[in-house]
Structure 1
Amino acid sequence: MNATAGAPASAASAASAASTASAVNELGLPYELPDTAAADFARDGFVHLPNVLSPETIGVYEPEVTSEVIRLNTQHLPLAERDTYGKAFLQVGNLWEHSEKVRQLVHSRRLAGIAARLLGVDAVRLYHDQALYKEPGGGITPWHADQYYWPLASDRCCTVWLPLQETPYDMGPLAFARGSHLFSHGRDLPISDASEARLKEALAQQDFEDVVEPFALGDASFHLGWTFHHAGPNRGTVPRRVMTVIYMDADARVAEPVNAHQTADLGWMPGTGTGQIPDTPRNPVLYDARTA
């Protein structure tokens, strides 16, 4: 009786192990960039890529990322009591340090290889990861540029935005101002009501196209640190679950912080001083074409 009862569980365990092995294999395989992707990225400051990961691979990692977000989340105020930033998403960083399974996803050579080729560099290292979960009823993500927060002396930095479910318009997919990585106005603005108002007006005055597209399961976008972007509210009934990874040129150096946020962000590169390359255990090289 016990052996019979254990058989289905053993079969399920074997199937799970096979799915994980297949997913790990995909994370190490190169992705075939569309012919124009690098040029589009250089011109627009972002690119939306199809089929970056298979739905099956997303299915292997989404439950673990979600479990870690729930476990590590420190935001417990009701939505109505939060400010605009707090309503935008639940935010948890460096999940890879807490979960071996998340580490597999964050350290993916497939994703890092895409980043390196888009940035036009030989190698990229990890800055940090960040899960961004927009709850049902969650508000807008105001206009901003990520590199406002990064004490890095290089613009060869980018973020992969990887939804862990299909993301239609009503869930608030990430949207970009096409070509705005070349626009220096507003780079001194943290994400806030002020950045939303001022950047929305300034970008419209300069006729930057606001590119908003749904994401199919397995799609991902990559955007430069100085590309202005935003997202709408989540009008759906489930959280908009997104995993992000920030990559930097492996030879990028730390800059002197110019605001308090950048000073705090030095913690992602422990022990690294101004002018130094953040070659730390927290910032491993994830892809190097010279050793591929």
Structure 2
Amino acid sequence: MTPQELKDLAERYRRDGFVHARGLIPHEDIAALAPAVDMAVARRKGHDTRGLDEKTPYEQSFIQCQYIWEDFPDVRGLTFHPRLGEALGALLGAEKVRLWHDQALYKESGGRETEAHQDHAYWPIAEPDTITAWIPLIPVDEVTGCMGYVPGSHEADLEFVDIFRAEGQGEALLARQAAEPVFCPAQPGDVLFHAGRTVHMAKANHSDHMRRVYTAIYFKDGCTRGGERAHPSVDRDRIPQGARIAGGATPVVWPLVDGRIPEPEPWPESQDERFLRNRASGVIPGR
């Protein structure tokens, strides 16, 4: 993108809390990298033979696989794509950008809506300088489950919405918003960016095929840990409360030193119940 295009993109992002960057990643790159994401999801979730109606409401919203760049190296070209990194730096106004974590969010045919929520409420990051890149691997529209964003909601209060265990809380959050959500059909190569505090949701998948989407969360270098809420992106590097978040679990994605993509660090062993459950289910690496 030209400097003026990046400036315009950043202005819209800062005004609305989200922005649709059309054709940011070359189509041929998406075509080459999408099979790696498909492979990651297939291998992580290959043991799960449950039908959609046997899953929890949260699992009915999407199949979730996190940190796939770490155990599936062919995904890294997307996570650390230079055009993506350049845009992240402009939108965050950052000289250096770090990865919080990536994830595949595949919505099955018949999958329910993703309820309205604000991502930042789930992360122990003190500063608001967080951003998600939502990258469709197929055309996505209101039938397959496109994203919706509430303009300006990134400037409002941050609320924790328990989309994991309770149905309907997202509707209550949405009812308190000052604006209606804007839904954004998108094509492969497009990237939808939204701030960690932006209220967002996704429609149900009424199509006959899987909605395949890769996402990654990034943050401005210099952000610090806020609170003791557990999260692998800080716990793996033993980041204490108030300390700068920097380590092998949160590598720099832009600018890359000499253009080299970093290698992931090993995951420590743990007997934590949630950790073991997420590993067994394929949400995190190591199954």
- What are the ranges of 5 or more consecutive residues in structure 1 without an aligned counterpart? 1-28
- 1:1-292 matches, cutoff 5 A: 33-73=5-45, 75-184=48-157, 187-191=159-163, 192-203=166-177, 206=178, 208-257=179-228, 262-266=229-233, 269-288=236-255
Using the TM superposition, give the Cα deviation of residue 282 of structure 1 relative to its aligned residue in structure 2, in angstroms. 1.7
Measure how far apart 1:107 and its partner are. 1.9
How many angstroms apart in 2 are the aligned matches of 1:76 and 1:39?
Answer: 45
Deviation at 1:197, TM superposition (A): 2.2
Kept after mapping to 2: 8 A contact 1:151/1:266? no
Q: In 1, distance between residues paired with 2:112 and 2:237?
A: 33
Q: Which runs of 4+ in 1 moved over 6 A?
A: 29-32, 289-292
Deviation at 1:237, TM superposition (A): 1.5
Residue 58 and residue 167 in structure 1: after superposition, are their counterparts in 2 closer, same or farther (change >3 A)?
same
Displacement of 1:142? 0.3
Residue in 1 aligned with 2:279? none
| CA apart distance, 1:54 | 1.9
What TM-score, normalized by structure 2, do the two folds share? 0.83
Q: Match of 2:145, as an amino acid?
A: G
1:222-252: CA deviation from partner (whole Å, max 9, x where unpaired): 1000000001111111111111111111111
Partner secondary structure for residue 62 of structure 1? helix
Residue pair 1:123, 1:285 contacting (<8 A) in 2 also: yes
TM-score, normalization by structure 1: 0.81
**Rounded Cα–Cα distance in structure 2 between residues aligned with 1:144 and 1:196:** 6
Identity of aligned residues (%): 31
The structure in which a higher percent of residues are helix is 1
Q: Which runs of 5+ in 2 are unaligned?
A: 260-287
Cα distance change of structure 1 residues 265 and 184 upon mapping to structure 2, 3 Å threshold? farther
> Looking at CA atoms only, which structure, 1 or 2, has the larger radius of gyration?
1
| Alpha-carbon distance change, 123 to 48 in structure 1, aligned in 2, over 3 angstroms | same
Q: CA deviation at 1:175?
A: 0.7
Instruction: Tell me by how many angstroms 1:33 deviates.
Output: 3.3
Q: Cα distance, 1:79 vs. partner?
A: 0.9
Post-superposition offset of 1:99: 1.5
Question: Does the 8 Å CA contact 1:31/1:114 hold for their aligned counterparts?
Answer: no
Q: Could you say if the C-alpha distance between residues 30 and 69 of structure 1 is closer, same or farther in structure 2, counting changes exceeding 3 Å?
A: farther
Aligned-partner residue type, residue 254 of structure 2: Y
32 and 161 in structure 1: CA distance in 2 versus 1, 3 angstrom threshold: farther
Counting matched residue pairs gives 256
- Of residues 79-88 and 143-152 in structure 1, the stretch that sits farther from structure 2 once superposed is 79-88
Query: Is the Cα contact below 8 Å between 1:124 and 1:249 reproduced in 2?
Result: yes
